[in-house]
């Protein structure tokens, strides 16, 4: 292949690609910029992926789709409750190379391989959109199947909505090669990166291109096939991110608003080296919190005076706030945090207690959700007060973060300094971490140690990011201190881990790094 950066950057608009769709490029420059070092590294990576593909399948890929990981700056565990979040994309991404395989008379199939074949062995699945994802088999390739199913499910939804011009193509055999550099289990959304890139590859290989909002929503829905009750933040930022800005992401429907971050600060991501696998621990961690929030919403619904049958249909705390805003008679229009203090007890509830309140078995109420039933089978108690208090307070911090960042963009006559803006943003991050740790209980001792080290070494604000129970921290650091800050982390946190053999010194650059906001999903078609 010729150099992938040599051609002039252009975005294709033919073949059904419209404004707001996933961009299609013939050069790496629109995504990787004009920095010679970064372009050379990206060029080598795509060339290497193409060569691996050729060696595996005897033919080159037709196109590549990349989708990035993300770091959530603030707004943890509230997207699935219907509330806005504020993430940014990072430069680490997943690339999927793909081609449609010519019909050879055999049953259509999906041949899926990975450049890291030792860790992620090749797998073959039928080219059947109706196949179920085997949740009992935690194969890495299940994430590709999620993305594959998502494309066809979206097409069927479009047809069912009465859109007469929707044509569902015949599923073709595909050859696929994946190269992911988003750290797994780090809270940087490696799962969404592969699901989004996979769905994009399936879509593009069949000559389709959906809108970014449709892609974000379909990827959120289809990742749930893996067994986690995702709220949509990870998929939305991976698809819709823009270079240079964070995004305030709203849901139902998905919408994204640019949030320009103040000058003078850089975000540093640091991996605690403790892996948290959302899918494998869902019943006791991630999905457990989803169920606790739903139960908290139901109990508050009872206090609103709703009939029990209506209470059983409540799914999120966001729905309860809408009722409070309407000055429901049971609560007199009080706000959500006062409602939590007044109507949820601080101590955990047991199942029998909730069943007496709700007048029904929890298993009966949640019978339509297998993942919720798995939670009920594993749970011994439910901390409704803590979970609801976190969600409602974290929602307020997201808007405070947005408004504080906007102050830096206001007129020069303002009575505050950019340094004060950074300090205020850092304080919000610190408050968010405390809430995640104490109320949502999604931290761990390694994250607590790392946050402490970050603050001791000059972070303006530092917090866990992602689902938690391991993974990464994100810290706001003044631009001039970034290099020294990273070196201090290597000495104070990572040195002992190197000595214990948890990580090699040569790999530290991949676990602690600075990042400015990166761009979102893109399709590449290069001239061979």
Counted residue by residue, the chain has a size of 528
Instruction: Detail the DSSP E strand segments found in 30-183.
Output: 63-74, 86-100, 109-114, 123-126, 174-180
Q: How many CB atoms lie within 10 A of CB 337?
A: 15
**Is the alpha carbon torsion for 413, 427, 431, 436 positive or negative?**
positive
Cα–Cα distance measured from residue 164 to residue 349, given in angstroms and rounded to the nearest whole number: 51
- Structure token digits, residue 370: 């297998």
- Between CA 278 and CA 297 the distance in angstroms is 23
Enter the DSSP assignment of 509. Answer: G
Could you say which DSSP state residue 505 is in? G
- DSSP per-residue letters across 380-409: S-B-HHHHHHHHHHHHHHHHHHHHHHHHTT
Question: How far is it, in rounded angstroms, from Cα 417 to Cα 415?
Answer: 7
Catalytic hit among 175, 234, 250, 322: 234
Q: Give CA–CA dist 246/232, Å, rounded.
A: 16
Catalytic site residue 234?
yes
Rounded Cα–Cα distance for residues 13 and 21 (Å): 10
Q: Give the C-alpha separation, 162 to 204, whole Å.
A: 23
Structure tokens at 21: 């769709």
Across 94-106, b (16+ Cβ under 10 Å) vs e yields: bbbbbbebeeeee
The continuous run of DSSP H or E covering 478 comes out as strand 472-478
Sign for the pseudo-dihedral over CA of 201, 257, 253, 225: positive
Catalytic residues: 234
């Amino acid at each position: 292949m010729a150099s992938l950066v040599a051609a002039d950057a252009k975005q294709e608009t033919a073949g059904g690609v419209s404004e707001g769709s996933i961009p299609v490029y013939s050069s790496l420059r629109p995504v990787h910029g004009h920095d010679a070092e970064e372009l050379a590294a990206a060029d080598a990576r795509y060339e290497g992926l193409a060569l691996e593909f050729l060696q595996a399948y005897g033919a080159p890929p037709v196109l590549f789709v990349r989708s990035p990981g993300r770091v959530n700056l603030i707004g943890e565990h509230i997207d699935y409750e219907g509330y806005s979040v504020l993430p940014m994309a990072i430069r680490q991404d997943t690339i999927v190379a793909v081609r449609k395989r010519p019909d050879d008379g055999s049953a259509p199939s999906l041949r899926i391989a990975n450049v890291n074949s030792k860790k992620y062995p090749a797998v073959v699945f039928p080219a059947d959109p109706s196949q179920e994802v085997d949740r009992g088999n935690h194969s890495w390739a299940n994430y590709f199947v999620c993305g594959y199913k998502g494309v066809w499910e979206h097409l069927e939804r479009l047809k069912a909505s009465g859109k007469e011009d929707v044509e569902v193509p015949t599923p073709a055999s595909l050859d696929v090669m994946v190269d992911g550099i988003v750290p797994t289990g780090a809270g940087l959304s490696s799962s969404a990166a592969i699901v989004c890139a996979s769905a994009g590859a399936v879509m593009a290989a069949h000559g389709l291109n959906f809108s970014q909002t449709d892609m974000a929503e379909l990827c959120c829905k289809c990742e749930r096939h893996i067994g986690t009750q995702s709220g949509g933040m990870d998929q939305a930022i991976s698809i819709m991110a823009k270079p240079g800005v964070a995004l305030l992401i709203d849901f139902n429907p998905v919408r994204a608003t640019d949030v320009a971050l103040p000058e003078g600060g850089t975000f540093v991501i640091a991996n605690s080296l403790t892996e948290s696998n959302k899918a494998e621990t869902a019943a006791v961690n991630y999905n457990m919190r989803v169920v606790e929030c739903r139960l908290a919403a139901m109990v508050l619904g009872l206090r609103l005076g709703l009939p029990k049958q209506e209470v059983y249909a409540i799914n999120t705390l966001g729905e309860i706030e809408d009722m409070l805003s309407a000055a429901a008679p049971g609560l007199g229009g009080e706000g959500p945090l006062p409602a939590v203090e007044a109507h949820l007890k601080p101590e955990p509830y047991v199942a029998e207690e909730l069943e007496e309140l709700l007048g029904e078995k929890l298993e009966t109420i949640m019978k339509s959700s297998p993942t919720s039933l798995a939670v009920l089978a594993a749970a011994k108690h439910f901390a409704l007060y803590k979970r609801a208090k976190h969600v409602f307070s974290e929602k307020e911090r997201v808007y405070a973060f947005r408004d504080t960042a906007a102050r830096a963009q206001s007129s020069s006559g303002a009575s505050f300094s950019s340094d004060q803006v950074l300090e205020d943003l850092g304080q919000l991050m610190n408050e968010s971490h405390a809430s995640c740790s104490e109320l949502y209980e999604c931290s761990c001792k390694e994250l607590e140690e790392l946050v402490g080290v970050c603050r001791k070494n000059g972070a303006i604000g530092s917090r866990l990011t992602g689902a938690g129970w391991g993974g990464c921290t994100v810290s706001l650091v003044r631009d001039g201190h970034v290099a020294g800050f990273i070196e201090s982390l290597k000495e104070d946190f990572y040195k002992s881990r190197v000595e214990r053999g948890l990580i090699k010194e040569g790999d530290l650059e991949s676990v602690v790094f600075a990042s400015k906001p990166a761009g979102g999903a893109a399709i590449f078609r290069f001239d061979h």
